[in-house]
Amino acid sequence: MILQSTADTLLLFNLSPGETRLIDRLVSSFALETVSLQINNLSEYRRTDPKHQVCLVIFHVDAENNRQHLDIRQIRDHLGENVPILILIPAKNRKNIRKYLKAGADDYLLLPLNQDQFSVSFLILLEIGQTMAHAQRPQTSQDSTFAWNRLINPFRAGESYFSPRTLAGNRKTEGSFDKWEKLHRLGLGGFGVVWLVRETGTGRLAVAKTPHSPALNIRVLRSAAILKRLIHHPGICQLLEVVKHNGKFILIQEYINGPTLQELLKTRISARNREDYFSQLLSAVAFSHNHRILHRDIKPENIMISKTGKLKLLDFGIARDLSWQGAGKSSEGTLSYMAPEQYAGKSCLASDIWSLGIILYIFTTNAVPYQLYNDEYPEDMEEELRNRAPLTINPKIDRELDRIIMGCLEVDLEKRYGNGHALQQDLFKTFPLFGSGELLPP
């Protein structure tokens, strides 16, 4: 193993001893140096230690100092745009969040710290900061590189989903969007623009999701954190890297060469393929739910099928990590696949089950369970669903399958499957051969 010629450094401002110990635990296996500074020592530090490459700043806001945004601006001015800044904000100062972000902070966490939330946000920004730092300096034979899939999170043993650069490894990487050549636009939405891009040198295709403005950076980072936690499941579209360009964080994700499920539904899908697709989708959702991730927008447009028949669940843009955050009170999602409680701003893991029920209903009947003629749920939703149970459309459908579908579409949350694992268990216990194509109508 070869040591770095330039030291990667974390700068810590105003952190408590407990917060510093937490960071030391998180980076104990990395070739990193942590330096605690006062803001008035920053200029001197930069002048006397030019070889120390700052890759992340953690700044603890002083609850009694109303001018901390000026300190954040000073840090940003000294270090440039590409060094991520994570700020820790006392609850009484939450009204100043926008001021801190405008001054140059990239992400924030409210105090007291949730260790799970902090570890994920910290490691996401550390990886971005190291990648950006690596891109800015010339390659040398002594540069250390990424060692992927290391177990470094002591709070989530068994989930090796981060890849900060360590002393070993031989995978070269760059952290600039300049290495991605835009080929053509794939889509445009309320969040931003989606491009098909190609990596220079390797020719690898990928998808770049660029937000409309830096104001959406927090949402990008939250999505990246969720995708990192789910990196080990083959049915979830993988995050390749996050880069910062023109002040905006950009998600670079794997490119899936194939149609969306929505496009496939316009063709004739064999019973075997429908069962196989649903099995793969259920596996991905169950995995997400086991990690307390709520997707909130499962629909055919967000599901892609590769040329080899592998399913990928996309777009965790409005997903929530329930291990440290609430489900949110907004009614974001797609109405036709949205559970009633989600529409009311009371999402839970079972809300994703409703979306799965809609898809399985369509796979079974080639129809939708209800029609929405405006932007509101009908008051008699429960009765409408009963009147359009799969068996009423096709009496040949297995009664147990009808039961399972209607169990996904229970308006009463007490009667609906609580999560993907519960649905998965019942489905495969009832139909051990589900996926063979013998259950769904041809």
Per run of 10 residues, the mean pLDDT along the chain (length 442 residues) is 60 95 87 92 85 90 94 95 95 94 94 87 88 60 31 33 38 63 92 94 95 92 91 94 91 96 96 97 98 96 96 94 78 89 93 98 94 73 89 95 98 96 98 92 86
Q: 261-430 is classed in which CATH architecture?
A: Orthogonal Bundle (1.10)
Residues of 240-272 as b/e, b for ≥16 C-beta within 10 angstroms?
bbbbbeeebbbbbbebbebbbbeebbeeebebe
Look at the chain and count its residues.
442
Residue from 297, 315, 321, 352 carrying the catalytic annotation: 297
In the chain, % helix, strand, coil (3-state, to 5) comes to 40, 20, 40
Give the pLDDT score at 371. Answer: 80
CB atoms inside a 10 Å sphere around CB 406: 19
Q: Phi first, then psi: give them for residue 419, nearest 5 degrees.
A: -165, 175
d(CA 337, CA 281): 15
Annotation: binding site: 209
Over residues 306-352, the pLDDT tens digits come to: 999 999 999 999 999 998 777 777 778 888 999 999 999 999 999 99
CATH 3.30.200.20 for domain 179-254, yes or no, is: yes
d(CA 343, CA 335): 7
Class of domain 7-136: alpha beta
Parts of the chain belonging to CATH 1.10.510.10: 261-430
The model's pTM:
0.82
Give the pLDDT score at 55. Answer: 93
Give the pLDDT score at 168. Answer: 29
Over residues 30-89, the pLDDT tens digits come to: 888 999 999 999 999 888 877 778 999 999 999 999 999 999 999 999 999 989 999 999
15 exposure class (CB count in 10 Å sphere: 0-12, 13-18, 19+): middle
415 exposure class (CB count in 10 Å sphere: 0-12, 13-18, 19+): exposed
d(CA 232, CA 230): 6
Tokens 């060469």 -> residue: 257
Give the pLDDT score at 6. Answer: 59
Tokens 């489905």 -> residue: 427
Residue type, position 13, single letter: F
d(CA 220, CA 249): 7
Catalytic residue status for 24: no
d(CA 109, CA 290): 24
Parts of the chain belonging to CATH 3.40.50.2300: 7-136
Annotation: binding site for ATP: 209
Query: What string of DSSP letters covers 321-362?
Result: ETTTS---SS--S-GGG--HHHHTT---HHHHHHHHHHHHHH
CA max distance for the chain: 80
Identify the CA nearest to 257 among candidates 307, 222, 220: 307
Give the pLDDT score at 332. Answer: 85
Which two three-digit tokens encode residue 324?
Answer: 């440290």
